[in-house]
Amino acid sequence: MNTTQLTQIDADVANLARGAAILGTGGGGDPYIGRLLAEAAIREHGPVRVASVEDLPDDAVVLPVAMMGAPTVMVEKLASGAQFAQAVTSLARYLGVTPTHIACIEAGGINSTIPIVAAAQLGLPLVDGDGMGRAFPEIQMVLPTIYGVRATPMSICDEKGNSGVFETVDNKWAERLARPATVEMGCSTIISTFAMSGAQVKQAYVRGTLSLCERLGRAVVDAREAHRDPVLAVTDILGGRVVAAGKVTDVQRRTTTGFARGQATVEGIGVNAGSSIELEFQNEHLLVRVDGVAQTSTPDLIMVLDAETAEPVTTEALRYGMRVRVISAPADSRWHLPESLAMVGPRYFGYDMDPVRFDGTVSSMPVPSMPASSMPVPA
């Protein structure tokens, strides 16, 4: 999907942050805050070099860094400047390694830009890839999990200076223990997790994510300047579709157990006049229905864009009266493996249904009920 290759990230990160928020499927944090953090770090420390996954040495030491918690909270409770590098250096010290690269664990308005901050502060290159190709709400929900990569040791730190390292028996337990710790630390923390070699990144990561983010953001701006439809520019790049268009008439959102959970109702307009569109989310959008019929479900991507400008609308930013278009796009094909669907499919989130692909078709792939910690590793 993406042929653009970034060689470095400079102070103009607006397009990258915009594209990351699109891929973040409603989660991954506020893109404006992420952009400001990245721009400030680059102004202080200089541009960040970008390394393609293909060019990583097999013995590279790659440490991903991310925000954990409810994106709603981070709008008001900003991380401290020291948290980003601290999460990486704490984990490196615990492991007794010297990191060679920083990486994103997911795509998102903050979780694609926080690693830029850490890379700038530490003077390390940033990997052009991520562990999902989108955003998911729980730690274990990354492709490295299905390849047997451990989430722990994992460092965690808050803006007050508290920090620690978790060692857990599996990746699901990393989520179960770090989530309540995050709640106690103010519902948002910075973590470094899934330490990997270059060889593991080559096997498990989605490639070219940052380049794709920049391309998406630039396509939106270019389409607007050329008076073309910027929403269709996004669906063209992602190979997706417009599910429906409408006006937001109701949003029910709450922050519980460290997540932003809720539902939104959109009243159809234009070709969708008379229809009711329902969105269900847990940090990220998990399900969209039109007139009660599921149109797309996790693990494929569900994104909400401003109807005219195609600016991404995160789940914490959804408001009554907004005119939006809901779009969907295919996830990385590995998310539709049976072992992946056991971890991120609709049934994991409590929906008694088979996965619905981005094009509205129902997946016929059987979904096992095994816990994520017992997933087989693909050959």
| 377 has pLDDT over 80 | no
Give CA angle at 222 (218, 223), nearest 5°: 120
| 374 has pLDDT over 50 | no
Do residues 158 and 238 both lie within one domain?
A: no
Residue 104 lies in a domain: yes
Query: In the chain, how many domains are there?
Result: 2
Distance CA 263, CA 252 (A): 5
Do residues 196 and 235 both lie within one domain?
A: no
Residue 289 lies in a domain: yes
Identify whether the C-beta of residue 322 lies closer than 8 Å to the C-beta of residue 313.
yes
Condensed to tens digits (0 to 9), the pLDDT of residues 23-35 reads 999 987 788 888 9
Phi, psi dihedral angles at 9 (to 5 degrees): -115, 120
Distance CA 345, CA 331 (A): 12
Mean residue pLDDT across the chain: 91
Kindly state the tokens that stand for 227: 């008076």
Residue 358 lies in a domain: no
Do residues 235 and 134 both lie within one domain?
A: no
| Per-residue pLDDT, 287 | 98
| 289 has pLDDT over 60 | yes
Distance CA 238, CA 23 (A): 9
Do residues 102 and 190 both lie within one domain?
A: yes
| 265 has pLDDT over 80 | yes
Residue 264 lies in a domain: yes
Distance CA 169, CA 73 (A): 29
Do residues 200 and 86 both lie within one domain?
A: yes
Mean per-residue pLDDT for 199-207? Answer: 98
Do residues 265 and 165 both lie within one domain?
A: no
What range defines the domain where residue 263 resides? 228-349
Identify whether the C-beta of residue 112 lies closer than 8 Å to the C-beta of residue 210.
yes
pTM: 0.91
Give the least confident one: 73-82, 282-291, 310-319.
73-82
Distance CA 179, CA 326 (A): 30
Distance CA 270, CA 242 (A): 13
- Residues above pLDDT 70, as percent of the chain: 91
Distance CA 52, CA 210 (A): 10
Residue 317 lies in a domain: yes
Q: Concatenate the DSSP letters of all residues of 58-96 into one string.
A: TT-EEEEEEEEE-HHHHTTSPPPTTHHHHHHHHHHHHHT
Distance CA 178, CA 197 (A): 23
Q: Which 3 state secondary structure label does DSSP give 2? A: coil
Distance CA 221, CA 242 (A): 19
Q: Concatenate the DSSP letters of all residues of 270-295 into one string.
A: GGGTT-EEEEEEESEEEEEEETTEEE
Which residue, among 149, 91, 82, 144, has the nearest Cα to 118 in the 3D structure?
Answer: 82
Kindly state the DSSP code that residue 374 receives in the 8-state scheme: G
CATH number, domain of 120, equals 3.40.1610.10
| 4 has pLDDT over 60 | no
Which one has a higher pLDDT value, 377 or 104? 104
Condensed to tens digits (0 to 9), the pLDDT of residues 268-285 reads 999 999 999 999 999 899
Tokens 């981070």 belong to which residue?
Answer: 74
Do residues 173 and 270 both lie within one domain?
A: no
| Per-residue pLDDT, 371 | 35
Phi, psi dihedral angles at 267 (to 5 degrees): -85, 120
| Per-residue pLDDT, 62 | 98
Give the least confident one: 140-144, 161-165, 229-233.
161-165
Residue 376 lies in a domain: no
Count Cα neighbours of 199 within 13 Å in the Cβ-side half-sphere.
Answer: 2
Distance CA 139, CA 149 (A): 12
CATH number, domain of 289, equals 2.40.390.10
Identify whether the C-beta of residue 73 lies closer than 8 Å to the C-beta of residue 188.
yes
| Per-residue pLDDT, 72 | 63
Do residues 269 and 333 both lie within one domain?
A: yes
Do residues 160 and 232 both lie within one domain?
A: no
Residue 258 confidence class, pLDDT cut points 50, 70, 90: low
Give the least confident one: 78-87, 187-196, 263-272, 354-363.
78-87
Distance CA 145, CA 340 (A): 9
| 217 has pLDDT over 50 | yes
**Crossing angle for the helix pair 31-45 and 14-23, nearest 10 degrees?**
140
Residue 217 lies in a domain: no
Do residues 238 and 176 both lie within one domain?
A: no
Do residues 172 and 143 both lie within one domain?
A: yes
| Per-residue pLDDT, 367 | 42
Do residues 165 and 35 both lie within one domain?
A: yes
Mean per-residue pLDDT for 36-52? Answer: 95
Distance CA 238, CA 256 (A): 32
| Per-residue pLDDT, 257 | 62
| 80 has pLDDT over 70 | no
| 245 has pLDDT over 70 | yes
Q: Concatenate the DSSP letters of all residues of 153-167 into one string.
A: SEEEE-TTS-EEEE-
| Per-residue pLDDT, 361 | 95
Distance CA 17, CA 37 (A): 11
